Copies of this chain bind each other. A is one copy, B any other.
Amino acid sequence: MTFSFKVRKQDTKTRARLGVITTPHGAIETPAFVPVGTQASVKSLSPDELQTLGVQLFFVNTYHAYLRPGLSVINKFGGLHAFMGWQGPIITDSGGFQVFSLARPKYVPQDRGEDRPSLVKISEDGVEFRSHWDGSLHTFTAESSMQWQWQLGSDIHIAFDDCTSYPATHKQAKISMERTHRWALRSVSEHQKQANTHKKRHKPYQALYGVIQGSVYEDLRVASAKFVRELAVDGIAIGGVSVGETKTEMRDVLSWVSPHLPEDKPRHLLGVGEIDDIFTLIAYGMDTFDCVQPTRLARMGRLYVKKNKKHEIDITKKIWEKDTKPIEPGCRCYTCTHFSRSYLHHLFRVRELLAYRLATIHNIHFINTLVLDIREAIKNGVFLEMKKIWAYNK
């Protein structure tokens, strides 16, 4: 089985669409939320739990996998699937985002100070950086990023991009976008070499998505969309939307880019997936989207609920201490069908490991159920109506 994408139904009032991505490791019904397993594990959950939660696609960061455990370890298993014990589809990023995010002062832990020399050096060839683990020196290029993603064996790869810093001037954003485009051409070229080698060895095809950059500038975003849609890629990713931009900026970027995307290729929105974003990004025709927020919030005790302005409660607050109800009455997740707010509150208060897992199960179930309901709504032609009802719930 090779890679393919089919639009099953196009919403008539928005760009939202129902589709299915087929990969060598199974199908993905879209739109779909994609949880992030930064270090080859969705924090606290086992692969069988992900499956039970209806997770269809699992995001792994190439940067992290490359540093630890390292490619020589993953190669012993023939790729990430066997290493992690996850048999479903996997998407990897190019490594670019992590490499660049290390160089940004806002990501520097406070105790290290902010005046240390940058960990990253960008050249036309690629990016030289020091490991956040041990300071060792490494280089990522378009070619090596492609080679490594083929070694990881993920079903969907992302082209190597220069992740524009935020905020950026128009001039900076243009330079960065143009570099992303040159790297995209090199990524496609290396990808085809790898694909041919794998084909000769009778190994399954792995797909490549090109990346649209351009920061918050309409002309650049449109130019980038027009450039990327002409590439010999299997899908389109939209980058640089999650980094420090406001919700309005995300909406703007999607509105500029969306009309220029090819209809027959799947689209992935990188790093976006807060509850408030979901209707918007789907309305602009996004098919998949990854985000650490649902799992990160869970580990902080911030649990998703429907009828509440922020769509979350903070279970660590004392008001929940004696509350015998589940997090969200009516929720069918393992956590809500077995435990109370009081027990969750207790587990967080005494820092029991089970807290993080039960919370993560609930938040992933919540977002996956929401996206499943949206798929049903698109199917039945009532996507906008559902969006309105959801807003009314607040």
Contact = CB atoms under 8 A, between A and B. Distances in A.
Q: How many copies are assembled?
A: 2
Interface residues of A, number: 39
A343 interface: yes
Nearest to A68: B350
Interface string A23-58: 000000000000000011101111110000000000
A158 B68 CA distance: 48
A69 B349 contact: yes
Contacts of A345: 69
A47 B343 CA distance: 13
Nearest to A356: B353
Interface in A268-311: none
A84 interface: yes
A283 B107 CA distance: 58
Chain A interface secondary structure, helix, strand, loop or mixed? helix
Interface stretch (A70-78, A138-146, A362-370): A70-78
Contacts of A357: 44, 46, 353, 357
Contacts of A390: none
A152 to B, nearest CB: 14
Interface of A: 39-41, 43-48, 64, 68-69, 72-73, 76-77, 83-85, 321-322, 324, 334, 338-340, 342-343, 345-347, 349-350, 352-354, 356-358
